[in-house]
Every structure is written in C-alpha cells, then in structure tokens.
A and B are shown apart, each in its own frame.
Chain A
C-alpha cells in the first residue's frame, strides 16, 4: 500500500509539472507587469529547480502537510477538511438513500422477475441514470425551485446566514437546502445498486436451500429474507466504490446547486493551478480509495467464508 501511495504521489507531481499554465499567472492579474509575476513565483518557491520542488513535495506528502493553498492563502488541510465535510453533508444522506433504496427495490424486482413492474422499473432506472447529472439537476431546479418555488435553488443555507459547518448542518433550514441535490443524486444513483441486487437475487432465487425452505412451508417473507442475506454480498463491494465516489465530490451537481464541496474546490483549484490543494485532494482521495478497497477485501472475507484465505492456502 505504501508503494502504491508513493507511486501515486510521484505520478501526481509529474502530472502537475506537465500541466500547462503558470500558477502565478492565474493569480497575478493580467496587465500587471511581468515583475509581479516573477516576484510571486519566487514567493511560492516555484522558481526552485524541479528536483528541489519534488523533494519538498515528498516531504509534505510524508507528513500529510501540503503547505498553503495558493488561492485561499490558508493551510491546504483546512481547505480540504472544510470542503470534504460540505461534500459529505450532501453525499451521506444520498448514499443512505441509494444503498437502502437500491437494495430494497432491487431485491423486490429480482424476486418478482418477469412482471410488468420489474420491466418498467428497470427501464425507468436506466433512463434516469443515462441522464447527465447537471441536466437532472437543472430539471429539478426548474421544477421545484424556479417553477413551483417550494425549495431554494442553491447553497447550504439562506444568504447571509453564515455560521460554522455544524451550525449550518443542524439548522432547520438545512433539509430544505439539501433536498434538491440529495434527491437528484439519489434518484440517479439508485439504479446501480438496484440492478446489482436484482441480478444477485435472480441468481440466488433458484438455489436448493430456498427450494428446501419452500418445501418446508416457510412463509414467502422469511424465504425472501434468507435470499436477501445471501444476495447482499456484492453490495458490499458496491458500497466501497460508492464511498470512494463520496470523497471525490460531485463537480456538476455542486456547481448546479451552488454547493461548496470538494468537487467544485478541485475544479477551482485546477483552473487556478492551485497545486498544493490539488495534490492534497488527490492524495487524500487516493488514500481513501486504496483504504476502502482494503477494507472491502477484509470485510468480504469475513462475511463470506468461501473467499476467506486460510493460513494453509498462504503457505501453499
């Protein structure tokens, strides 16, 4: 895992070196003299030879200190924590809706395979998922905000309300502000786990143990419960992938709904060539994704004894 992270860190540094654009040029307004630009490069240490910049960068990575954001003028860690928390505030409710909704609907559709409900639901799910997220977001806005005026169109709270993250999230206004982005995300995202669960249920449905239960006269609800318990394993993997997505943020939705999350922050940082923030955000995301893969692998082995690696197998 350490080697993977080292390679990711090195590749990221290389990518930023190759990226066209001078961070100083993004900040010092065009029209100011070249001297201002050179002075800024010097202040940011961008005038140092590449190998010196690389060693400094590796030092930062090792200590998880990515320096000071060029754009925000505060430590990168502070920017990332603030933006990740905002993203999580939107993604977590959506994630719960996606996983619970996807599992329940998928299990139902798998069990009722071949019915008109199943066919319609699969078609509708695919249609909604194929819709670009920004388009889905704009449709929701046109309908519920600009059209009916039921819900506010952007932000995490009313204009001028300010306050800390905790105060914002636990304010009475927050559910109204979060409703549209969360619903958009959930409606689009539910299709994946739904189809996965449906497929898994279809596979399980013909199993001998279910037929045995049926022969013993066990109620259908109890049989379904047994089926779901066995079909749910692939959802663990899916959950791991979704967590990774959570930490990447949702650039388009965050833009459409004016949500100050990590996705938008990364795009802003990219536009401004704010290398410290980009390096920090990408590295943190890499840690989460690699870490989640590890957790899912371990969890999978724990939940399903068939994929467990025993000591004997390792020695063999």
Chain B
C-alpha cells in the first residue's frame, strides 16, 4: 500500500476530527473569548463586526486608537448570517457592532426595543440582550413604564431607564445617522417624508397618496433594491410595509411618528387591561363588500387562533375580544396584563383582513396555517388606498389607486415598485428617468453627482438609526465600569459622522437609546466624547497600569476598589462561575 494513503483504521481515526470540523465556528469563537486575569495584561480584545456600512473602517480606526491605550484588538469581519449566529450564540468575542433601528411598526413605542435589548430576562443566549446586561434598576423603570398609561409619566420612566443604561456605560453609541437622502424626479411634488424613513419609503409613507405630477403623469415608478418574494400578509416577514397600502392598518403613524387611528375611528383604554376600539364607518373591501365590525372581530380571532409568527409576540398578551356595540362598531379587547404599548404594538401592527376571502382560500387550498396560504394577486383583497394590480416576483409590484378610499390618491392612478438592484443602476435610472423615486438613501457625494441632472431633487430627513458597540458586560475587562468609561472616551464619533457618513449625521455625546428624532427621546445626563488622554487618565485612576511593552495591565487582585466594581457586577450574575482569577 502506498505510504501516503490512509488505512481504514487511520481514516476512522480521523473521523472525530472531521466531525469536529463541523463544529468549527462555535468552538473557534469560544476559544477566542477574552480570559482576562487581574494583575495581568488585558488580553487581545476580539471585535466581531459586519462587513457592510463602513464597519471594517470604523473597526480599524478603533483598533488604532485603542492601541494608543495599550490595548490590542483582533478584528473579525463576519457576513450578516455568521454575525447573527455569533450574536445569538454569544460567540462574538468581546464586542460587536450593531445598529439600533426601531421597527417602523413600533417606532412610536419603545417597548420592544427596551425589553429585547436590555431587560435582564433577555440576557442569555439566544436572546437579543447580546451584552448580557442585567441591571435591576433598569428593570424597575422598564416595568413601571409598561404599566403606566399617563403618557407624561411613561416618558419620564423611559427616560430614567435610558439614563440607567447611559450611566452604566453599557452600549457605546457612535452617532445618529446616516441621514436619509432620497432623490426623486422633481416633476412630482407634494410628497411628505416620514422621520426616519424619508420621502420614498414603504413604511408609513404619506408620499404616494399625496403626490402630483406637474407634467400630468398618472403613473409613478419607484426603484427599490429588493422586494418581498410573496404577497402573503401572514408570512414571517408579514409583507409588512407594502402590504399596508392594501390592508388598512388599524392605526398608523403620522409624519412625526405619532400614533393616529386609521381603520379605526377611535381607540382608548378603560383601565390598565381593557382597550375599546371603534371601527371607521363606510369602509369597503376592494371587491366592493362593506367592511363590518364582524370583519374586525374575525381578524382578531383569526390572529389569536393561528398565532402567525409575525403577530404572535404582540398578541400574546391579549386575552379576549368581544363586540360590545354592533351599531357603533365597537370592540373591546381585554389583555392578560397591563399593556401600555398596546396602540403601537397591536393596533399599528395589525391590519384588517377579509373573512370572506381568507376562509374560502384556506378551504380551497387545504391549508390549516395561514402562512402556508398562497396569495395570487386576485386574493390580495384589502380595504387600503391601493389595490394590488399585478405582482411579478423579484421584478415589480403594480398597484392601482382605490378611488373609493377615504384617503384615495388624487394624483396617481398607478404605483409601480420596481426592483433595481445596484446603486449604479438606481442612479442611472433616476438620471435617464426610467424611475421617478428611489427607495434608497444615497451618500452626499452620490447626491452631488445625481443633482447634476436638471430633473432631479433631493430631500433629507433625520434617521432614527444609531450604530453602537456592545460588549460582554459579564466578563472582564468589560465588567469594570471604569474600563467601559475609558472605552467610551476612545471612540472617535466625529470620524464616524464626518468621514464615514460624509457629514450626513449627528455626532452623539451620550448613550441615548432613542435618538432626538424619536418621539421617546430623553436626554441622558452621562456625557462623553473622544479624548484618548482622558481615557488613559480614567484607567490610571482606576488602578490600571502599563507593562514594559506598553500593554495595559488590569488592577491587581488586592485592589479593593477594583474588587468592589467587579463584585457589583458579579452580584448580578449569581449563578455564573467567575471567568477570571481573583476569588471575589
């Protein structure tokens, strides 16, 4: 036998290694998590970051700055999928980047953002509190706001919760941006942009029913980089944006992100768990049938019965739905627990669906789960201000104006959403007027190029997005608040805004979960900036030293202040084994 060939025995011997390779991603990431020891140099810090949105360049800049403090970094660029895995499995190492963009459906309410990202019950894999942050003070304010129906008091509690996070130097915010820069053919006027989503978005967009063409065009074409591959409103992604043109939401957001009734005439709470809603009168489905209170009740019952994944989290707290006054079209919803975010979480999130279409569809198609329903264009019957005329997967979605709607588009007969995959193509098609609007935010230099065309104009809107770094607060050196504080003073936010976003953004000086364009923004008292000298001084004052080669060394085991700072965190993790040497 050739000596280079593997014998059967040796091949079998390799099997565990081969099988082990299957677990490489997890095992590999686990092995690189920092294992800091008091009195020794801070180990190489691992930053797992995404490869889009200028993250690699920001990571490089951070690494360069931290090196001046005696820290070494290992940068690990990850694809979106690998990054998501690393986040949920907590295998991202020491820190990672993230962008906080509140969901448009719930933008007016901070409920999910606070709970998912910061509540202690979410501080474990695979939940979304990726830094494993546990802070009873935060939990207290969160729970108070969840039960508070007075808007002013609620805002105050939310502000306090945000201030707890800020004072803890947990997430490190890098800026508020980039601004939404939407370019369009200026033949079209009258569009109204929405804060955070711009002029040509699909979420809560007021532009399409309001615009008019100066040259008398009745068809508007909008380019967007990708499109939902189906029109099933019960699918996991809920066809949530475009679908609202067809299926009226019960409530919606105005251009300032305030909740307003939409398919409802009114809504209000009787007590902490009871909500009364009244259906708008005179509504019709696209097939001409009237929308009745039974349709509203049936929509609620259908969602409660089937719990499509898109709706289930927000509907879990709903106990019962009853028609209280058929003549007034009034319905009462009783929740299991106080639900202050009910209007944003449930009403803005839920559309009206036609029983007379959905039930026969389920029978005919023989499916028991709504997400399995197959929606042809003819099945997409709603009551919204646009009717779905034609849908060609991954190519275009064509809507026609519903002239019977109380908010019927006046200047548009047909709205075409067209897939334009690349930035180059989007720019080219705007310039040669193949499309009228682009649902894509351009950079300032791209806008400059586009505005060379005499046909184009730009509108800028503030964004609600805010990128930040989050770290494993349950392990050293991040357990030490002084280290986190020093880190906050080491991040060049000006570089983020001026270089990465070409000035189209806002430099932040606080770790505010909600940016100023968000209705629940509250100023955070703890401020910071970019000052490496100050960062060094913070570390020095906290007992950190530097070894002969200039590497940062953790305070020694016997340092009582260090013990106290770290112990304060350990108390929050009673079941967790110490990750470092000192027995505290």
Binding site for B on A (CB under 8 A): 17-22, 24-37, 39-40, 43, 68-69, 71-74, 79, 82, 138, 141-142, 145-146, 149, 152-156, 159-160, 162, 255-256, 258, 260, 264-265, 268, 271, 273
Q: Which residue of A lies closest to B22 (CB)?
A: A18
Q: Which residue of A lies closest to B398 (CB)?
A: A160
Which of B237, B307, B374, B432 touches A29 (beta carbons < 8 Å)?
A: B237
- Is there an interface contact between B395 and A155, defined as CB atoms closer than 8 Å? yes
What residues of A have a CB within 8 angstroms of the CB of B229 in the complex?
A: 69, 71-73, 268
- Is there an interface contact between B395 and A27, defined as CB atoms closer than 8 Å? no
What residues of B have a CB within 8 angstroms of the CB of A19 in the complex?
A: 81
Which of B22, B80, B309 touches A43 (beta carbons < 8 Å)?
A: B309
Which of B79, B88, B240, B371 touches A73 (beta carbons < 8 Å)?
A: B371
Which of B116, B219, B309, B392 touches A28 (beta carbons < 8 Å)?
A: B309
Which of A26, A27, A35, A273 touches B316 (beta carbons < 8 Å)?
A: A35
- Given contact pairs A73-B230, A73-B232, A258-B419, A39 touches B414 in the complex (Cβ within 8 A): no
Known: A33-B116, A39-B309, A258-B425. 6 other contacts (CB 8 A): A31-B106, A32-B310, A40-B309, A43-B369, A73-B230, A146-B431
- Given contact pairs A159-B416, A159-B434, A34 touches B126 in the complex (Cβ within 8 A): yes
- Given contact pairs A69-B229, A73-B235, A260-B395, A25 touches B390 in the complex (Cβ within 8 A): no
- Is there an interface contact between A33 and B418, defined as CB atoms closer than 8 Å? no
A82 to B229, CA, bound (A): 13
Which of A34, A145, A256, A265 touches B128 (beta carbons < 8 Å)?
A: A34
B211 to chain A, nearest CB (A): 17
B424 within 8 A of A: yes
What residues of B have a CB within 8 angstroms of the CB of A258 in the complex?
A: 419-421, 425
A36 to B235, CA, bound (A): 11
B357 within 8 A of A: no
Which of B81, B101, B103, B421 touches A21 (beta carbons < 8 Å)?
A: B81
User: Could you write out 11 A-B pairs with CB less than 8 Å apart?
Assistant: A21-B81, A22-B84, A22-B88, A26-B81, A28-B309, A31-B106, A36-B310, A72-B229, A74-B230, A79-B393, A159-B418
B88-106 interface code vs A (CB 8 A; 1 in, 0 out): 1000000000000111001
- Is there an interface contact between A28 and B394, defined as CB atoms closer than 8 Å? no
What residues of B have a CB within 8 angstroms of the CB of A25 in the complex?
A: 81, 84, 88
B301-332 interface code vs A (CB 8 A; 1 in, 0 out): 00000010110110010000000000000000
A179 to B79, CA, bound (A): 35
Which of B116, B392, B394 touches A31 (beta carbons < 8 Å)?
A: B116
- Is there an interface contact between A17 and B418, defined as CB atoms closer than 8 Å? no
- Is there an interface contact between B310 and A153, defined as CB atoms closer than 8 Å? no
- Is there an interface contact between B230 and A273, defined as CB atoms closer than 8 Å? no
| A-B interface, 7 closest residue pairs, ranked by CB to CB distance from nearest | A21-B81, A72-B229, A33-B313, A73-B230, A39-B309, A27-B236, A20-B82
What residues of A have a CB within 8 angstroms of the CB of B372 in the complex?
A: 68, 73
What residues of A have a CB within 8 angstroms of the CB of B316 in the complex?
A: 35
- Is there an interface contact between B369 and A31, defined as CB atoms closer than 8 Å? no
What residues of B have a CB within 8 angstroms of the CB of A17 in the complex?
A: 22
What residues of A have a CB within 8 angstroms of the CB of B309 in the complex?
A: 28, 36-37, 39-40, 43
A149 to chain B, nearest CB (A): 6
- Is there an interface contact between B84 and A21, defined as CB atoms closer than 8 Å? yes
B567 within 8 A of A: no
- Is there an interface contact between B420 and A264, defined as CB atoms closer than 8 Å? no
B127 within 8 A of A: yes
- Is there an interface contact between A153 and B128, defined as CB atoms closer than 8 Å? no
B417-437 interface code vs A (CB 8 A; 1 in, 0 out): 011111011001101101100
What residues of A have a CB within 8 angstroms of the CB of B428 in the complex?
A: 141-142, 145-146, 153
What residues of B have a CB within 8 angstroms of the CB of A69 in the complex?
A: 229
What residues of A have a CB within 8 angstroms of the CB of B307 in the complex?
A: 39
What residues of B have a CB within 8 angstroms of the CB of A21 in the complex?
A: 79-82, 84-85
A27 to B234, CA, bound (A): 12
- Is there an interface contact between B431 and A160, defined as CB atoms closer than 8 Å? no
- Given contact pairs A20-B82, A273-B81, A268 touches B394 in the complex (Cβ within 8 A): yes
B221 within 8 A of A: yes
Which of A36, A162, A260 touches B394 (beta carbons < 8 Å)?
A: A260
A154 to B435, CA, bound (A): 11
What residues of B have a CB within 8 angstroms of the CB of A255 in the complex?
A: 421-422
B501-529 interface code vs A (CB 8 A; 1 in, 0 out): 00000000000000000000000000000
- Given contact pairs A28-B309, A28-B310, A71-B229, A34 touches B393 in the complex (Cβ within 8 A): no
Q: Which residue of A lies closest to B219 (CB)?
A: A160
